[in-house]
Structure 1
């Protein structure tokens, strides 16, 4: 532990007075049965940003309760910087970094597609020994699985967001609950090249409805909505990403049907 870490929470010294210059005051729980994760992250972030941390640890629950009452806060950790209380870890993260929980971001989509691409390459090199058109097929099918799982992770939030724009779901609500299962299942079958007469038409159907719905909502009605492609509570805007998802599924469905009929 750093030398400035204390074995108890110093509640006798005013944190606003102690938090001057590059010294930050951090109150966090280190109870016998609970070491606060947010407190650990706050300590790490402060260290990374070059602060000397006056680390005040709560060793007993009674200390935590007394602190909350004294400073009228509902949670710990609590951080003071430059004489002012910043708040908990999320508030500290917003103050010291460019993090904005409400900002539009494409990072989750980039990470998902990167994992899908790496998986497709691994399958191709591992089983085929080279990169072929099948690599692209695996990339699409694995992407479908990952996207479907994101939706299933919190299906209620997904369906709420999905109902904002999907034309079929707005006519028949159960379709919103069926969609992620069809996308995930079709992706699994396509990855294994199994039951093509079932998987390909299913993917083609939901993708076609999805593409039409997104195109109408974004490019005709000019609505500014959040994309349900990564499930509920996503900060990815509806538009290019969701349209790309549906076009990829359409292409995969048509390609697999073509291969099946040609076989």
Structure 2
């Protein structure tokens, strides 16, 4: 059996604080089959002395074969892994949101009807997605409204619309889940969805502006374009379908 390689890790483990990146470094080393000499820096004085001794500004610090590798990000690079870029554009948040909305819709369909694939499941998917998207915006409505002003045509003319939008989207979503007060939810969804489609289409496809989408909140790195168009088109489609159900099918 091949003996384990050895690494030395220095990380903060204090009564009031255990460094999360130290724990991540320890886990990463163990997953790469390293036996870890885990040295705890238990006081601020010990931590400062360690930094001064090794001329480093942060902990944790990992050493392999007597060579300093560095902190957690440096350890990722050492093992050939990508270092997450917090400023990079990404579709992950919105993909996770839509996946959760789909799972909730399928679960609700199964609980209510004993079937996964139903028309109601499709309706619930859109309504749940609307509620989850509204929640993301409401987490920091100031940041959302500021980002929203970059492209929404109505918000640029009436700033308060940026504060109303998340509540309107959430209310419409909740009412559509319940199938209640459709006389209110349908026009709300049609109105904000139509304004959204026109605004996004103009900003992205006519003005050719590279902007971040406020659809999943003001701290989003999701590019403006397909995702926001999808959000608004879903609202329009849901409103039109609900209107068809009420006026034609009589449901």
* Structure 1 residue 180, shift from structure 2 partner: 1.1
Identify which of 31, 39, 45 aligns with 1:56.
39
Indicate the residue corresponding to 1:110 in structure 2.
95
1:129-140 superposed matches below 5 A:
129-130=114-115, 131-140=117-126
> Which runs of 5 or more residues in structure 1 are unaligned?
5-21
Contact 1:29 1:35 in 2 (8 A): yes
Is the contact between residue 25 and residue 75 of structure 2 (CA under 8 Å) also seen in structure 1? yes
3-state SS of the aligned residue for 2:38?
A: strand
| Alpha carbons of structure 1 residues 43 and 238: separation in structure 2 relative to 1, 3 Å | same
Deviations 1:127-184 (A, max 9, x none): 1223321111100000111111111112222222211111111111111111111111
Q: How far, CA to CA, are the matches of 1:43 and 1:219 in structure 2? A: 47
* 1:173-215 alpha-carbon deviations (Å, 9 max, x no partner): 1111111111112111111111111111111111111111111
Q: Would you say the 8 A contact 1:226–1:238 is kept in 2?
A: yes
Equivalent-residue separation in structure 2 for 1:244 and 1:99 (angstroms): 30
Structure 2: gaps of 5 or more residues: none
Structure 1 residues 221 and 125: alpha-carbon distance in aligned structure 2, compared to 1, 3 A threshold: same
Distance 1:93 1:159 in 2: 36
Counterpart Cα distance in 2 of 1:214 and 1:93: 38
What is the rounded CA distance, in whole Å, between the counterparts of 1:72 and 1:163 in structure 2? Answer: 46
Contact 1:94 1:100 (8 Å CA) reproduced: no
Change (3 A) 1:30 1:221: same
d(CA) in 1 for partners of 2:230, 2:51: 49
SS at match of 1:54: strand
Contact 2:61–2:68 at 8 Å: present in 1 too?
Answer: no
Q: Is the 8 A contact 2:69 2:78 kept in 1?
A: no
Pair 1:124–1:46, CA change in 2 (3 A): same
CA contact (8 A) 1:214 1:242 kept: yes
CA distance in 2, matches of 1:45, 1:154: 33
Q: CA deviation at 1:67?
A: 3.0
Aligned residue number for residue 110 of structure 2: 125
Change (3 A) 1:109 1:44: same
Between the aligned partners of 1:164 and 1:91, the Cα distance in structure 2 is 37
Q: Deviations over 1:216-238 (max 9, x none)?
A: 11111111111111112222211
CA pair 168-29 structure 1, distance change in 2 beyond 3 A: same
Query: Within the alignment, does 1:193 sit opposite 2:179 as a pair?
Result: yes
SS in 2 for 1:231: coil
Change (3 A) 1:105 1:134: same
Match of 1:65 in 2: 48
Aligned pairs, number: 242
